[in-house]
Structure 1
Amino acid sequence: MASAGDVFDHGRHGTSLAQVQEAKTSRSPPKPLLVAAPCDAGEYPVVVFLHGYLANNYFYSQLLQHVASHGFIVVAPQLYTFSGHDTTGEIHSAAAVIDWLADGGLSSSLPPNVRPNLTAVSISGHSRGGKVAFALALGHGRTSLPLAALIAVDPVDGMAPGRQTPPPILTYREASLRVPAPVMVIGTGLGALRPPCAPLGVSHAEFYRECAAPACHLVARDYGHTDMMDDVTGGAKGLCKSGGARAPMRRFVGGAMVAFLEKWVEGRPEWLDGIRERPEVAPVVLSAVEFRDAGTRIHGVMLPA
């Protein structure tokens, strides 16, 4: 049996990375896409990944390929180039992409004999994209596919409590976010440091506190808000406090996503249970490993700094 640490390594599949352009045809996507997929023939679950504020989808290409190498098709739309305060347009654009997937538009953009399993879809997102993922899951945008799982990577709901981007998602009541699927929230220890790219009160800790079960929360102590991105991301790299080399953080986030999807989408809990029992297998130091199981309040372990 594979050990828990294996999930943080590249998976057994080779991967392809394809750009799919928006066009005015009935079969084209409503937004440009970056699609990471296994190269081996087979049918694979689909994950929609939503980029952070003013970021490009290709900033996450290595992270997406890590997830794809473990047997998932990852679809990352470019929701906008520039955007204002309100996230409503992004929510509806992401919903439109999911509807396009349901209509069978993805198949022509995949390697030969690779098929998407669209009985349900998982949604993930980083930063503001994590907030948009929550908004979709909570019904702020109508989609035609059931939700299998939700993964928010250092989600942010505005500049500070009381200064949330519309529509506000956080309610400041414990277990008030009743997402109709299991939720993973991944956080960073440096995200709230100056400049605070993930300010306290509107970031990962509050999102997790408000999640109803089942949910889990993993925090990388020594890494910042954009450290799961590729090494080359233009000006985005210097905007947030960083923990240094990004490769360990990419491996951690990609592996944590895979472990969660393996449990809740594929029915194989070994990797996630392994991280829960032995947090030291992660390639980064974790300052929080918390799980909220069905029928219980939050429990877990806060690891020493």
Structure 2
Amino acid sequence: MTASARRAVLACYYSLLLHTMASAGDVFDHGRHGTSLAHVEEAKTRRCSPASVSVVGPPKPLLIAAPCDAGEYPVVVFLHGYLANNYFYSQLLQHVASHGFIVIAPQMYTLSGPDTTAEIKSAAAVVDWLAADGLSSTLPPNVHPNLTVVSISGHSRGGKVAFALALGHAKTSLPLAALIAVDPVDGTGLGKQTAPPILTYKETSLRVPAPVMVIGTGLGEVPRNVLFPPCAPLGVSHAAFYDECPAPACHLVARDYGHTDMMDDVTRGAKGLATRAVCKSGEARAPMRRFVGGAMVAFLKKWVEGRPEWLDGIRDRPEVAPVVLSAVEFRDE
């Protein structure tokens, strides 16, 4: 057993103790599975002989949230936001994993400029590593990935990259099951898209070969103060993305929450401080995180596992969400 697998076993044990009494029926609560959270280092080359070189590990460092219970689970790739760390989303990833998904969150870069081309290629490389069955050795014992299809998700700039990947800006070797964009952003303002631009400003033009969920925030387009522009500017954020998505697609907007409110309660370091100092926020992160996690699970349950009841419940009774929703929109098949 590898060191990461041993750590996953210990994490499972403690998670099971904490969540034994958790409800399995409420999508906005922790699910019935205990979860592990493992960090996996990126690939290192090894020279086995003068003539042969092998590569061990994924193309990017990974944070992997997985159920502890033995079984086969669908895989979701989650791409972090601009200049964020993947572990800022650890509580969100564990929420999704607790409902029966393996969530892979690559650390795309440490620092980056405005062009996302390299990120799109890196995300494709991670998916191809999954297809080559690199994931299995990093998981708890008897936990197996179902790689017949993979779902792609992302927050902020990561949402843009997820759309780019789904639209074929980089080729991948696994079919796409679903796309979830959490407050996606395609630039600094209308007419100021970052390369490569994704939005076309033509209705239903983003012909993703899978169902799409777009989650938005009501405060993302509001400046934090006079020193900082909005973190999700009007015209290049969630509403514009949804307008360009053909059916099947849905759009849910948390009215009183901001662009980074689905992150962990505590995000340390200079980047962590920036998630609160730069973007306008709601009163607390926990309700928004529960909402985003639950909405992701409901969407995946419908389109990956064929179980529509949770997503239909949000559609029919949006008041069940732990936040006030200012938009609940669906485009049916």
Decide: shared fold, TM above 0.5. Answer: yes
Q: Which residue of 2 aligns with 1:125?
A: 154
Distance (Å, rounded) in 2 between the aligned partners of 1:258 and 1:239? 29
Are residue 270 (structure 1) and residue 309 (structure 2) matched?
yes
1:24 deviates by 1.3
Q: Which residue of 1 aligns with 2:239?
A: 205
Q: Which residue among 13, 16, 40 is the counterpart of 2:36?
A: 16
> Per-residue CA shift, 1:27-76, capped at 9, x if unaligned?
30000000000000000000000000000000000000000000000000
Letter in structure 2 aligned against 1:11: G
> Per-residue CA shift, 1:172-204, capped at 9, x if unaligned?
011010000000000000000013000000000
Letter in structure 2 aligned against 1:264: W
Choose 3-12 or 275-284, whichever is displaced more.
3-12
Distance (Å, rounded) in 1 between the aligned partners of 2:325 and 2:238? 14
Task: Calculate the TM-score normalised by the size of structure 1.
Answer: 0.94
Distance (Å, rounded) in 1 between the aligned partners of 2:44 and 2:108? 16
Higher relative contact order (Cα pairs below 8 Å, separated by 6+ residues): 1
Q: Which residue of 2 aligns with 1:299?
A: none
Contact 1:4 1:275 in 2 (8 A): no
What does 1:229-248 align with in structure 2 at a 5 Å threshold? Answer: 229-233=263-267, 234-235=272-273, 236-248=275-287
Q: Which residue of 1 aligns with 2:52?
A: none
Contact 2:153 2:159 in 1 (8 A): yes
Q: Which residue among 185, 202, 215 is the counterpart of 1:186?
A: 215
Choose 72-81 or 237-246, whichever is displaced more.
237-246
Contact 1:5 1:281 in 2 (8 A): no
Please tell me whether Structure 1 or Structure 2 has the larger radius of gyration of its CA atoms: 2
Task: Calculate the TM-score normalised by the size of structure 2.
Answer: 0.86
**Structure 2 SS opposite 1:232:** coil
1:160 deviates by 0.9
Identity %: 86
**Structure 2 SS opposite 1:222:** coil
Ranges of 4+ aligned residues in structure 1 off by more than 4 Å: none
Are residue 106 (structure 1) and residue 126 (structure 2) matched?
no
Are residue 150 (structure 1) and residue 179 (structure 2) matched?
yes
1:5 deviates by 7.4
Distance (Å, rounded) in 1 between the aligned partners of 2:245 and 2:87? 29
